[in-house]
Amino acid sequence: MTDGYVQQPGSSKDVRVDGKRVAGKMSFNPPGSGGSRPEMAERDLDFIPEVEGGREAQPAGHHLHDKYRTGTTVGKRTPLVDGNAKVTGQAWYGDDVRLANEIIGRIVRSPHHYAKVKSIDTSKAEALPGVLAVSTGADAPQRFGVLPVTKDEHAMAVEKVRHVGDLVACVAAIDEATAREAAALIEVEYEVLDAVHDPKKGLLDVDDPIHWRGQYHIGSTNVQKRVFQEFGDRSKLEQARATHHGKWKFMGVNHGFTEPHAVVAHWDPNGRLQLYTPQQVPHYAHRALATVLDVPMHQVNVIRTFVGGGFGGKSDPFPHEMCAAILARKAGRPVRITFDREEVFWVNRGRHPSHIEVQLFADDDARISGFEIDALIDGGGFASFGHVTSYYNGVLATAPYELGSFHYTGARVWTNKPASGAMRGHGAVNTRCAIEVGMDDLAEKLQVDPIDLRLANLLPPHSKTITGFRITSNGMRQALERVREGSDWDSKFRQLPLGKGIGIGCGFFISGSGLPIHWDPNKFPHATVHIQIDMDGGVTVHTGAADIGQGSTTAVAQVVAEVLALPLEMIHVRSHESDTSPVDLGSYSSRVTFMNANAAITAALDVREQLLDAASEILDVPAKLLILNDRRIYNKKDPAVGTSYLQALHKSQEDKGALIASGAYRTPPMGGVHKGAAAGLAPAYSFSAYVAEVEVDVDTGLIKCTDVWAAHDCGKALNPLAVEGQIIGSCHMGLGQVLSEQMVYGRTGHLQNPNLLDYKIPSVHEMPNVTPIIIESCDPEGPFGAKEAGEGPLLPILPAVVNAVYDAIGIRVNDLPLTPDKVWAAISKKMKREDIADAQDLPVPRIDFSELQAKIAKRSTEHNDRDGRRQRSEDTDPYINGVLFGFDPSIPPEDQDGDWKISVRPDSGQLESLGLAGSAWTKIEQRKMEDGK
Amino acid sequence: MVGEEHVSMIPIAPNNVWRAKVNGRAQEILAPSNAILLDVLRDKVGCLGVKRGCDMGTCGCCAVLIDGEPRLSCLTMANECVGSDIISVEGLSNGAHLAPIQQCFAECGGSQCGFCTPGFLISSQALLDKNSNPTDSEIATAIEGNLCRCTGYQQIIQSIQSAAAIHRGDESPAKPASDAHSDPHPSGPE
């Protein structure tokens, strides 16, 4: 229809009587004029907010980005843009990278828990025909680690091995059989040292701590990090009406991603390293590689392959990545290293095995007067993310409830196990379970409904937690109400027969870490996105965000498509190579959608403005009157006046070629000033509430979770299909931890189940029927209002199941996972204690509401109004944790109450009364000792 | 090791010619007589869509159809299937057109990270070949040998159900959300 390239459709030479130019008519029929072609469709008003004239309801208020919604893709169930590659087997994961002339690398691993490496003899391996390179720790003396403050790893052992499976040496040979054989020919002489397996023993002074941190070492213990935090007024705890005391044991859990680690390293003819690796955080691997290999960063190109599941387990820079690079440099050929499943368990970085003790207090008004948490976490052989985990175990319990006081002592100790690290719900999962079960118990003791107890103690939207975290949008209340309604809670709770139970749990998680891990003293953004559009009209988006299956590539493509009103197929995301991708901090702390999509929107808005300016010039219509719709731009008042996207694009490209735009995101300044104030800070937080229903076989102790109603506040579901997938997937992973998954270390400290047969990931038969419920609280700073949906949804499932088990059999088991043997042991113990002959006669908990029930129901109704007004920004008064206890929100509580404390070090008088992890504070740092050791 | 002959720890098996039909194409491949089918498919035939997740039959990522039956290629000796008709994920689609099961996995959220997807597709296709009207519980039995760590299986079951509907002819394959070959410069009606 178009006659070649038309810059100004219609007759632009026509001049009206008043001298104004007549705008060109479109060379095709205007939107809404009927016809089957997609670009003739009107804007999809169902996905345009009410405030912009659409039909999308906005109960949580308006958003800054509302005016850029075009009804294209945001909010629609969108298949992943790389889905077709995955279903055809064309997605290329780590081991699928096959370069010409490649050779195979193998790692030699320690058979000892803890030993000095006295000597390594590689001569036999080197002499084996087919072996092309051998390397040991001497080749790479530089330390690295994901956190700059705790660089304690080497590519291969230098001096010591710290756990069974720790790297000692590596070889590369023409094929796998030869490489395996060469690995076995490497002779290592060890001097075995006394290993530490029990984290409690890690608190004690020993002769040979697993790492030595010089003047910062705490005594001569294996304590890697200790945290003390005290906020609020603890003097009122003695008058509590109800208290809960829970002592928990959590086993270590592995990510269990299906793709084992694999890496391919290749030094190209120009001497640059091309490293292919399934990394969640390519940028930190990039930094660590440059350090360890002693080359400038720009000489390394990290190519992220497709990632076959991450969940935190592929976010550290890994020693095997260094090994592959070292071997490839020595051999002069590309080296591929692929792990066995067993090796995946030796690398681990899974959830910390933990001993957690919590005390919860409720006062006469059923307010939460205090949380006391003590968490001893078992870090294994290396620091990994442990510095952060140590904080998260406490500080991420400070919401969604308003607290009278908060007291946390935490310690992370090194033990001779594979290192623990970050795993989905990093640091928050175990404590959250203990806290939420505590809330259930408090409700039981107060004889009130546990959902109402929660509803009456929630922090409102736009408030501050007791530790100073800035909460923006908050959909906790709606989440609780929706699961209560969905599960028919009121007719089930404490009314089901023996063996059937229902339970509630809540969650709270960061949506992007406020502080980047590498906090260079400059103001680097957290995420940067470049957009480039050449004459063909295709939009190339360069981002460093690592898609690990969660759909970050799709999310970025979606927001760009939305702003530019282009079909998703015209957006091409390039995110694999560090050479072409701007620095992005990676896929961790649930930051990608929030930060990266924000950066993408900024860049897309720049392009949008250039297009609108061009269209304005073509049409002689002011830019503010122009509307973007599917591949066309037209006058809002007269849709017949318009131009096509390509015409506007070509106009804007005159004299400069491709349109280029860049957008970046950095978190706003926020948070307190106390030590550790940055840990747990985030630009937004997600909230969730789950109700789980279980069946417990009282004769065998077998638990079956049958139904879950899972409400998650993700701000705005950019892609509800993906959000639901994240919610259901989180349920699966959390259910594994609460019912069956555990890394079992035997009496000698040896990991007994490093395979997927003995490490019990729930199969399809163990999955309950999950009803995902999306809550949209419209976060003011999120992209189109979105917050995270990847990690937060995991948190509530654990306590919901544990609480449901109590509802079913009247027993709380505080030792995860709740395997049948533990549950049955608890049942038979109770039967013995209460002299019950038949398990079928076990008493079931029932509730008889106290006078407090009416009181808290009234309070939650009042708060419901308050929260609605705050959410819609009708009430913008400041709100801080403490208002519920009578404090004035405009004055810091410490200035209002002499007993209100903010303390990050224990007083000398407190030392004796601290818990297990708190006892780490009785040790003195080396630099504070008078005479050295 | 001067003066002594090296004895390999792993017995080196002689190379045989391995013959089978893979994805409709006859293959003649020189492979050790003790080769594992997974290795032959990945390293020699080039079917990199067949994934190695555990090497011991616990994850199902390496499943392929051998003469129509779903089998774990990591537990199958290549020699066991000489002369067989092997279909891997690469052989499911009809030319450039995705098989219904592939399309539904992509569109219904059946695939997140995608690593387990080839194995699930094989197990599901084997089910649908025999039963185009499966119950959820029959689907669960068909995919019980496949582990997925991302999806929690629910969207996988939905994907298989919607593929079954296409197999039955209840519904035509869903149209893609928009034109796969978007014209950036739409012209008027023809």
- B96 pLDDT band (50/70/90 cuts)? confident
Q: Evaluate if residue A403 carries a pLDDT over 50.
A: yes
Highest mean pLDDT among A182-191, A586-595, B167-176: A182-191
Rounded mean pLDDT, A163-172: 98
Chain A residues with beta carbon closer than 8 angstroms to that of B105: 83, 86-87
Q: Evaluate if residue A38 carries a pLDDT over 90.
A: no
CB contact under 8 A, A87 and B102: yes
In a domain, A661, yes or no: yes
In a domain, A316, yes or no: no
CB contact under 8 A, A309 and B150: yes
| A35 CB within 8 Å of a chain B CB | yes
Contacts of B96-100 with C-beta under 8 Å, sequence gap 24+, read B98/A84, B98/A87, B98/A88, B99/B125, B100/B163, B100/B166, B100/B167, B100/B173
Q: Evaluate if residue B187 carries a pLDDT over 60.
A: no
Nearest to A725 among B47, B151, B183 (CB): B151
Q: Evaluate if residue B4 carries a pLDDT over 80.
A: no
> Can you give the pLDDT at residue A10?
43
| A295 CB within 8 Å of a chain B CB | no
Give residues with Cβ within 8 angstroms of A729, minimum separation 6: B112, B149, B150, B151, B152
Q: Give buried/exposed letters for A802-836 (b at 16+ CB in 10 A, else e).
A: bbbbbbbbbbebbebbbbbeebbebbeebbeeeee
Tell me the HSE value of A141 on the side-chain side, using a 13 A CA sphere.
Answer: 2
For the domain made up of B15-90, give the CATH fold.
Answer: Ubiquitin-like (UB roll) (3.10.20)
Nearest to B98 among A76, A87, A569 (CB): A87
> Can you give the pLDDT at residue A522?
64
- A637 pLDDT band (50/70/90 cuts)? confident
Nearest to A307 among B111, B113, B154 (CB): B113
> Can you give the pLDDT at residue A198?
96
Rounded mean pLDDT, B60-68: 97
Q: Evaluate if residue A285 carries a pLDDT over 50.
A: yes
Nearest-by-CA chain A residue for B13:
A177
Q: Strand, coil or helix: what is A163?
A: coil
| A659 CB within 8 Å of a chain B CB | no
Rounded to a whole number of angstroms, the distance from the CA of A823 to the nearest CA of chain B is 25
User: Angle between the A429-446 and A797-809 helix axes, to the nearest 10 degrees?
Assistant: 40
Nearest to B48 among A82, A96, A730 (CB): A96
Domain range for A550 is 64-91+525-665
For chain A, the average pLDDT equals 93
| Contact map slice: A 788-827 vs B, CB within 8 A | none
Rounded mean pLDDT, A850-866: 96
CB contact under 8 A, B49 and A90: yes
Q: Are A473 and A713 in contact (CB under 8 A)?
A: yes
Q: Evaluate if residue A419 carries a pLDDT over 70.
A: yes
Q: Evaluate if residue A93 carries a pLDDT over 60.
A: yes
- A7 pLDDT band (50/70/90 cuts)? very low
Q: Evaluate if residue A380 carries a pLDDT over 50.
A: yes
| B51 CB within 8 Å of a chain A CB | yes
CA distances from A608 to A23, A645, A889 (A): 21, 10, 42
In a domain, A582, yes or no: yes
| Contact map slice: B 93-122 vs A, CB within 8 A | 93, 98, 102-103, 105-109, 111-118, 121
In a domain, A908, yes or no: no
> Can you give the pLDDT at residue A517?
72
Q: Evaluate if residue B179 carries a pLDDT over 70.
A: no
| A40 CB within 8 Å of a chain B CB | yes
Q: Are A395 and A467 in contact (CB under 8 A)?
A: yes
Q: Strand, coil or helix: what is A861?
A: helix
CA A857-A859-A863 angle, to 5 degrees, is 115
Q: Evaluate if residue A805 carries a pLDDT over 90.
A: yes
In a domain, A59, yes or no: no
CB contact under 8 A, A83 and B106: yes
H helix runs in A103-211, sequence order: 123-127, 176-185
| B89 CB within 8 Å of a chain A CB | yes
- A514 pLDDT band (50/70/90 cuts)? confident
Chain B residues with beta carbon closer than 8 angstroms to that of A645: 184-185
> Can you give the pLDDT at residue B9?
72
Q: Over the stretch B142-158, which tens digit does the pLDDT of each residue have?
A: 999 999 999 999 999 99
Q: Over the stretch A183-227, which tens digit does the pLDDT of each residue have?
A: 999 999 999 999 999 999 999 999 999 999 999 999 999 999 999
In a domain, A555, yes or no: yes
Chain B residues with beta carbon closer than 8 angstroms to that of A755: 54, 56, 58
Rounded to a whole number of angstroms, the distance from the CA of B69 to the nearest CA of chain A is 19
Q: What's the CATH code, domain B100-168?
A: 1.10.150.120
In a domain, A621, yes or no: yes
| B14 CB within 8 Å of a chain A CB | no
Nearest to B53 among A260, A537, A732 (CB): A260
Mutate to test the interface with A, among B62, B103, B112, B190 (most CBs of A within 10 A): B112
CB contact under 8 A, A89 and B47: yes
Chain A residues with beta carbon closer than 8 angstroms to that of B14: none
User: What stretch(es) of chain B map to CATH 3.10.20.30?
Assistant: 15-90
- State how many domains chain A has: 1
Note the ipTM here.
0.94
User: What stretch(es) of chain B map to CATH 1.10.150.120?
Assistant: 100-168
In a domain, A400, yes or no: no
Spatial separation of the C-alpha atoms in residues A128 and A649, rounded to whole Å: 62
Q: Evaluate if residue B189 carries a pLDDT over 80.
A: no
Percent of chain A scored above 90 by pLDDT? 88
Chain B residues with beta carbon closer than 8 angstroms to that of A538: 184
CATH number at residue A78: 3.30.365.10
